[in-house]
A and B are shown apart, each in its own frame.
Chain A
Amino acid sequence: MTAMTLDQLRHDIVHGDQETRYRAWNRTGEVGAGAIVPLAELVGHEDRMVGLSARRGIQTLVYHAGRPGAEAERVAVCAELAKLLDAHYPLDLRADAAAWLGALGGDEAVDALNPYLWHDQALREDARLAIERILGDKAVAALRDYLDHAPETYRPRIAQSLRQRGVRVRRPKDDFWVLPS
């Protein structure tokens, strides 16, 4: 079987036959990082099952790129995923992109997510969860940096992420027992 190309993927993922779409999204790993933005553009397709196939294709690629020994692929996929954080994409896809970066990203993903932590209230919580999960000092530094600048009501979340990363943070305490206003 020859490797799936981007053109073939584009063709098959919008195909009317569900089995063809199924085979296509299962093979996105063969196409690589270049498939991410084209698939993202299809997530909002008028046929919801096409959109779902596109989304699953990206997820398959994320897991594929995270396999041991695929560092270059991982970095390339993260760079493309970062583009999906942009506000012109639907919020649920942006939230997925943040989660995928959390599952795959390194320092470069922290750089991509950090502006959304600071400046995008709609995506802030997703960015926090993603950064909390990213290994390395840079993620911890990003959370520390934001702790003193976050809105007062949001600081407990940042403090909690830092605790999750093993950082001792005395205040603010977590807001588990605080009722939403």
Chain B
Amino acid sequence: MTDAQHFSRRGFLGLSAAAVAAPMIVPASALARPGRRRGANDRIVIGHIGLGGMGRAHLHGTDGADIGALCDVDSNHLGDALSIAMSKGARRPMVCKDFRYVLDNKDIDAVIIASPDHWHAVQVIRACEAGKDVYCEKPAARTVEECWAMIDAVKRTRRVVQVGSQGRSTEAARKAKEYIQNGEIGRVTHVECRHYESPTGGQAPATDPPPELDWDLWLGPHRWVPYHADCVHFNFRWKMDFGGGQIKDRGAHIMSVALYCLNRDSFHLVSVEAEGDTPVVGLWDCPTRYKVTYTFRDPDWVLTWNQPGEERIMGHPFGARYHGERGTLDVAGGDGGVRVTDEVMAYEPPPGGVAVPVGLSHRQDWEECMRTRATPRMDIVAGASVSMLCTLGNLAFRLRRKLEWDAERRQVKGDEQANRLLGEPCRGPWHL
């Protein structure tokens, strides 16, 4: 190995054919040191990592002058993203397929990570270590071990990390929280999440990857598997190894709203049980019909995930019904489109009651926290907590046995195999 092969900022322009140019904007990092407050008018230069559907949506939400880097392992995605960036007035952003170039670029203040789930932990941890603040798409991680590693890294580096479960930043979620926290349905004993089934499919044979895709880099920390056209980009969601199905994709939204409304981002999990059906054919292996039951104590309550649920929530194909000792509350949706009844939307807390402050949008909340160094609404602890729940549900399903959770030791009681599967070794050179 030569010195030239060592990755360095000095070397990246010479080594990377994909690197177009360094951004030509004055970054906030030049004005405020990492970890310090930034002024309201300071620019925050953002690197966009992962430019598929969600990544491009985030790009649309970024001021052109703030776009510092575009990164994706698929050159088609990069081309599309560059067009969007230029149409928004971006000035020569760095363009690359390897996120290490973005992290090594001192001109980048923050990154938005919208890569597939199996990349999140490695990229978030390394971004934090590189001094970047992070907005990471949900679910936060693919394994429980990754969740803890992310929490540790964020605490250690004191970065601002927002996880992209934006449902809790909606006005409807705020009103639902006020309604519940003021006891309008009594103590909540059961949150019943409902969602339609994960799809079936994945018939494509193993082939060589298309030339525009760097398959090795797409796999990243995941162990090597052959390329299947049906299992990349959006459809990775339906593979247990990469995504984890609806419970991870939308569960990360619906459960996030539930934990927010109940003030239970920290919880004492007791057990997880799951049962359901794997698709009969195709590579997609996430359960279609699916029920997961989580039992908690201090306080005692139950969270269930139901695919499909008994009926829609307020006509919406997914959401949750909150069962209290004195009534129920329906919260439809869970992602950006959360909805409650007009009565709940009009609800005003009683004098002396709990008033939940009106907040910024999810993205604005992150940007504001980067300036003030406050904790964002869906910080890594909240994001990881939800991700752990979803992951443990899938683990109980795969193992076909009830998991008794030891909250103190962060382990499954008396089940060595389950504990091994709380983590996933990373293919080199990637690691947590």
A residues within 8 Å of B by Cβ? 18-19, 21-22, 26, 48-49, 52, 56, 63-64, 66-68, 92, 95, 99, 102-104, 125-126, 128-130, 132-133, 135, 152-153, 156-157, 160-161, 164, 174-179, 181
Nearest A residue to B417 by beta-carbon distance?
Answer: A66
Within the complex, the shortest CB–CB distance from B25 to chain A, in Å, comes to 25
Give which listed residue, B6, B205, B280, B426, contacts A22 with CB less than 8 A.
Answer: B280
Answer yes or no: B100 CB below 8 A from chain A CBs.
Answer: yes
Listed by A's residue number, 29 A-B pairs whose Cβ atoms lie within 8 Å are: A18-B281, A49-B282, A52-B283, A56-B285, A63-B399, A64-B400, A66-B399, A95-B225, A103-B417, A103-B420, A125-B224, A128-B425, A129-B425, A129-B426, A130-B425, A132-B425, A133-B420, A133-B423, A133-B425, A160-B428, A161-B425, A164-B431, A177-B7, A177-B100, A177-B104, A178-B1, A178-B6, A179-B5, A181-B5
CB pair A176–B417 under 8 Å, yes or no, is no
A-B contact count (CB 8 A): 101
Q: Quick one: which of B1-24 are within 8 Å of A by CB? A: 1, 5-8, 15
Give which listed residue, B224, B416, B426, B427, contacts A135 with CB less than 8 A.
Answer: B416
CB pair B429–A174 under 8 Å, yes or no, is yes
Within the complex, the shortest CB–CB distance from B177 to chain A, in Å, comes to 39
Answer yes or no: B398 CB below 8 A from chain A CBs.
Answer: yes
Known pairs A67-B399, A164-B425 / 18 extra A-B pairs, C-beta < 8 Å: A21-B280, A26-B278, A92-B225, A92-B226, A95-B225, A126-B223, A126-B224, A128-B428, A129-B427, A157-B429, A174-B429, A174-B431, A177-B100, A178-B6, A178-B429, A179-B5, A179-B98, A181-B1
Interface string of B403-432 (1 = CB under 8 A from A): 000000000001111001101011111110
Within the complex, the shortest CB–CB distance from B165 to chain A, in Å, comes to 28
Answer yes or no: B132 CB below 8 A from chain A CBs.
Answer: no
Answer yes or no: B374 CB below 8 A from chain A CBs.
Answer: no
Within the complex, the shortest CB–CB distance from B424 to chain A, in Å, comes to 8
Nearest A residue to B430 by beta-carbon distance?
Answer: A176
Within the complex, the shortest CB–CB distance from B204 to chain A, in Å, comes to 10
Answer yes or no: B142 CB below 8 A from chain A CBs.
Answer: no
CA distance A104 to B401 in the complex (A): 16
Interface size on B, residues (CB 8 A): 40
CA distance A156 to B1 in the complex (A): 12
Cβ contacts under 8 Å, B31 to chain A:
none
Within the complex, the shortest CB–CB distance from A160 to chain B, in Å, comes to 5
CA distance A130 to B425 in the complex (A): 8
Give which listed residue, B6, B224, B417, contacts A104 with CB less than 8 A.
Answer: B417
With A133-B425, A178-B6, A178-B7 known as contacts, the answer to whether A49 contacts B281 (CB < 8 A) is yes
Within the complex, the shortest CB–CB distance from B278 to chain A, in Å, comes to 8
CB pair B416–A68 under 8 Å, yes or no, is yes
CB pair A63–B126 under 8 Å, yes or no, is no
Answer yes or no: B32 CB below 8 A from chain A CBs.
Answer: no
Nearest B residue to A29 by beta-carbon distance?
Answer: B400
CA distance A159 to B423 in the complex (A): 18
Cβ contacts under 8 Å, B421 to chain A:
103
Give which listed residue, A19, A135, A175, contacts B428 with CB less than 8 A.
Answer: A175
Within the complex, the shortest CB–CB distance from A40 to chain B, in Å, comes to 17
Answer yes or no: B206 CB below 8 A from chain A CBs.
Answer: yes
CA distance A67 to B159 in the complex (A): 40
With A103-B420, A157-B429, A164-B425 known as contacts, the answer to whether A68 contacts B414 (CB < 8 A) is yes
CB pair B126–A176 under 8 Å, yes or no, is yes
CA distance A99 to B421 in the complex (A): 11
Give which listed residue, B1, B206, B420, contacts A152 with CB less than 8 A.
Answer: B1
CA distance A129 to B428 in the complex (A): 9
Which 3 pairs show the lowest CB-CB distances between chains A and B?
A66-B417, A129-B425, A177-B7
CB pair B206–A68 under 8 Å, yes or no, is no
Q: Quick one: which of B252-303 are within 8 Å of A by CB? A: 278, 280-283, 285
CB pair B223–A67 under 8 Å, yes or no, is no
Cβ contacts under 8 Å, B5 to chain A:
178-179, 181
